[in-house]
Amino acid sequence: MTHTRHDISIITLNGKKPIIHDSAFIAPGCRIIGDVTIGADASIWYNCVIRAEVNRVVIGARTNIQDGSIVHCDGPMPGVEDGFPTIIGDDVLVGHNVMLHGCILHDRAFVGLSATVMNGAVIESDAMLAAGAMLTQGKRIETRQLWAGSPARFVRDLDDAAVMGMRLGVAHYVNNAKAHAAAVTSA
């Protein structure tokens, strides 16, 4: 079954219907397909695709997935019985045009503009992947580390100001989503 409102597609596939919290903002142009769960006050920005037909995608509370990003997962395969779901925690910032594929982002992780995170990669809490970086399969960014480059490598530890900046970014996106939701509703 497909539901479209304000050019949003929410598609049930393989018997799995996306579960979207009532307070989440889903911008026009988004496509949300299959076994997807989106938490309270999360925001999925314009023209994102979240597709979960072979595994699941979980997006936590107050997390934002910014414009043009793609979130996907990978199914079971030899040596990886559970495949690679994409699990995104609470208060995560995901920049514009990001590709997340079969990875785990812990609470308060940050992924910069146009970055890519591959199967089995993990970004821990208060850690950052820089804009344009590629975190290759199975790599792990530890708490309060900044990684950059393609393939991504450790650059430095993040100071308190950088961590606070990420938290302010989360609050900004929660408030900004409310303004956009009101504008879309009145259009």
Distance of alpha carbon 7 from its chain centroid, rounded?
20
1 — pLDDT class (breaks 50, 70, 90)? very low
CATH dotted code for 2-186: 2.160.10.10
For tokens 């539901």, what's the residue?
A: 3
Residue percentage of the chain with pLDDT more than 90: 94
Q: Where are the domains of the chain?
A: 2-186
Calpha distance 60→69 (Å, rounded): 16
Model pLDDT, residue 150: 97
Model pLDDT, residue 111: 98
pLDDT in tens, 132-154: 999 999 999 999 999 999 999 99
Look over the chain and give the mean of its residue pLDDT values, rounded to a whole number. 95
Calpha distance 14→183 (Å, rounded): 33
**What angle is formed at CA 67 by the lines to CA 10 and CA 94, rounded to 5 degrees?**
100
Q: How distant, in Å, are the alpha carbons of 24, 53, 137, 164, 184 from that of 100?
A: 20, 15, 11, 24, 26
185 — pLDDT class (breaks 50, 70, 90)? confident
For tokens 């495949």, what's the residue?
A: 83
- Whether residue 108 contacts residue 91, with contact meaning beta carbons closer than 8 Å, is answered with yes
pLDDT in tens, 52-107: 999 999 999 999 999 999 999 999 999 999 999 999 999 999 999 999 999 999 99
10 — pLDDT class (breaks 50, 70, 90)? very high
Output the pTM of the full model: 0.95
- Whether residue 41 contacts residue 62, with contact meaning beta carbons closer than 8 Å, is answered with yes
